[in-house]
Amino acid sequence: MSMLPESPRVLALANQKGGVGKTTTAINLGTALAAIGEKVLVIDLDPQGNASTGLGIEHRDRGVSTYEVLSGDCSLAEAVRETAVQRLWVAPSTMDLLGLELEIASTSDRAFRLRNAVEGLTRSRLFQEIGFTYVLVDCPPSLNLLTINALSASHSILVPLQCEFFALEGLSQLLSTVEQVNALNSELTIHGIVLTMYDSRNNLSSQVVADVRETMGDAVYETVIPRNVRISEAPSYGKPALLYDLKCAGSQAYLRLASEIIQRERELRRVAA
């Protein structure tokens, strides 16, 4: 009898503020984790579907999307698509997700649709064949029912935070939401905060880094993601930055972040043991 693969670690990438590098981080962190040997599934829960586009999944190829999964019409395994990156898969999204909240608002399991879908995935033939080790959930830029589903299904939350003036203000709002979601998911913890769009020529960027580190301490990853033209260009080619230009500063930063996340995971397992 073959051994079943262990359940994957589920990380939600969330920040109710738009334009902080959340989807960019989902795409490139997923690629970086795959590059160092992990088997990664990115679940796109943003109706804009930018993570799907950035991983090369055209709109016409999204026949089964996360909308069908959360509405109960299909299993998560049926929505999974291969990407051009080895060991990286994606469950794409469509604009149909915009209407989901109204459709499921009156159902008793409305906050647990994604959790149930991920549990179903771990029992599927696809999971037995692949054995995903990480699931990254790209959340929409708002604290709506889609984000609540992501947080209810996740072990930890990874917060991308742009190096700008109001960064900490948005963070406090998100942290209070995490406290509220603990009633639905007592396991949920903050895995870490990743500072994005850092501009070394800008004094404000350095000040934000210092302030966030002082406020949040060890929760902030050592790795800082720089503002980088190659990272911005890559999605228009339907590629992660690591495929578009592996040697650019942004790609190298995401590889360091992936290593740091793996290291934190080892420490968490050691403490749990």
Which of 229, 96, 219, 111 lies closest to 168 in space, CA to CA?
219
| The pLDDT of residue 18 | 83
Whether residue 258 is predicted with pLDDT greater than 90 in this model: the reply is: yes
What is the DSSP secondary-structure string of 88-125? Answer: EEEE---GGGGGHHHHHTTSTTTTSHHHHHHHHHHTSH
Whether residue 2 is predicted with pLDDT greater than 60 in this model: the reply is: no
Q: Using DSSP bridges, classify how beta strands 81-82 and 88-91 pair: parallel, antiparallel or unpaired.
A: antiparallel
DSSP H helices, 105-238, are: 113-122, 125-130, 145-153, 167-181, 203-216, 229-233
CA atoms of 196 and 254, how far apart (whole Å): 10
Whether residue 30 is predicted with pLDDT greater than 90 in this model: the reply is: yes
Which of 195, 257, 251, 177 lies closest to 20 in space, CA to CA?
195
Mean pLDDT score, 180-208: 90
CA atoms of 232 and 236, how far apart (whole Å): 8
Whether residue 169 is predicted with pLDDT greater than 70 in this model: the reply is: yes
| The pLDDT of residue 168 | 77
Instruction: Return the structure tokens found at 33.
Output: 């984790």
Whether residue 197 is predicted with pLDDT greater than 90 in this model: the reply is: yes
Q: Which of 18-22, 131-135, 183-187 has the highest mean pLDDT?
A: 131-135
| The pLDDT of residue 181 | 87
pLDDT tens digits, one per residue of 38-66: 999 999 999 999 999 999 998 888 889 99
Mean pLDDT score, 186-193: 92
Q: With contact defined as beta carbons under 8 Å apart, do 9 and 118 qualify?
A: no
| The pLDDT of residue 273 | 67
| The pLDDT of residue 6 | 79
pLDDT tens digits, one per residue of 95-117: 999 999 999 999 999 999 999 99
**How sure is the predictor about 5, in pLDDT bands with cuts at 50, 70 and 90?**
low
CA atoms of 116 and 140, how far apart (whole Å): 20
Mean pLDDT score, 240-257: 94
Averaged pLDDT score across all residues of the chain: 91
Instruction: Return the structure tokens found at 203.
Output: 């004094």
**Percentage of the chain exceeding pLDDT 90:** 72
Complete edge-to-edge strand list for the sheet that includes strand 9-13: 81-82, 88-91, 40-44, 134-138, 9-13, 156-162, 189-198, 220-226
How many residues are given for the chain?
Answer: 273
**How sure is the predictor about 166, in pLDDT bands with cuts at 50, 70 and 90?**
confident
CA atoms of 236 and 57, how far apart (whole Å): 12
| The pLDDT of residue 192 | 94
Mean pLDDT score, 4-11: 83
| The pLDDT of residue 268 | 79
Q: Which of 22-36, 52-66, 164-178 has the highest mean pLDDT?
A: 22-36
- Phi and psi for 90 in degrees, rounded to 5? -140, 140
Whether residue 1 is predicted with pLDDT greater than 50 in this model: the reply is: no
